[in-house]
Amino acid sequence: DVYVCQPEGFIDADHPSHVYKPKEGSIWIEASTKGVDSGFELTGFSDADYAGCEDSFKSTSGRAQFLGEKLVSWSSKKQDCTALSTAKAEYVSLSACCVQVLWMRTQLTNYGFNFTKIPIYCDSKSAIAISSNPVQHSRTKHIDVRYHFIKEHVEKGT
């Protein structure tokens, strides 16, 4: 449930500390699921700045998620690991973007929205190849197992 403070200028003088539960929000969500606004495509974008930190040589992950044409989530964060290649830096960033997109899909599904395949865009052919190829090559063994979960979601089409 969502509760909102009384807006300034419209405070109930008899009950100034009360909060209220908005009814309009639930109507809007219900209307949106019926197609009033058809721009609810969820899309992710991922990028990385390889070894961008001059002190630690760690890469920075950047990601953005859009609902229709509206930016609804974004992040720029230094990666926990030190990437040995641009492919790894991009793959780690792609993995973080995938985690956020899957979380958002779960939340939006709870409100009645349905998504089949959610596109996540990445400018690295190597990262895309690693996530699309179910075979783990000797060149990708150094990438931490926690980032390889994205392969499962690509294979399943989720």
Q: How confident is the model at residue 131 (pLDDT cuts 50, 70, 90)?
A: confident
pLDDT single digits (tens) 62-119? 999 999 989 999 999 999 988 888 988 998 999 999 999 999 999 999 988 888 889 9
> Nearest CA to 75 among 55, 103, 56, 51?
103
Other CB atoms within 10 A of residue 7 CB: 8
| For the chain, domain boundaries | 1-36, 39-156
Report, as an integer, the average pLDDT of 39-50: 90
- pLDDT score, position 43: 93
For the record, the structure tokens of 59 come out as: 């890469």
Fold of 39-156: Nucleotidyltransferase; domain 5 (3.30.420)
pLDDT at 140: 67
Using CA of residue 137, residue 139, residue 143, residue 144, what is the dihedral sign? positive
Chain mean position to CA 74: 7
Please report, for the chain, how many H helices and E strands are present, in that order.
4, 6
The CA angle 51-136-125, to the nearest 5 degrees, is 50
Give Rg (Cα) of the chain: 21
The span from the CA of 20 to the CA of 12, in Å, is 11
CA-based torsion, 140, 145, 151, 152: positive or negative: positive
Phi and psi torsions of 64, nearest 5°: -145, 140
> Which pTM value belongs to this model?
0.66
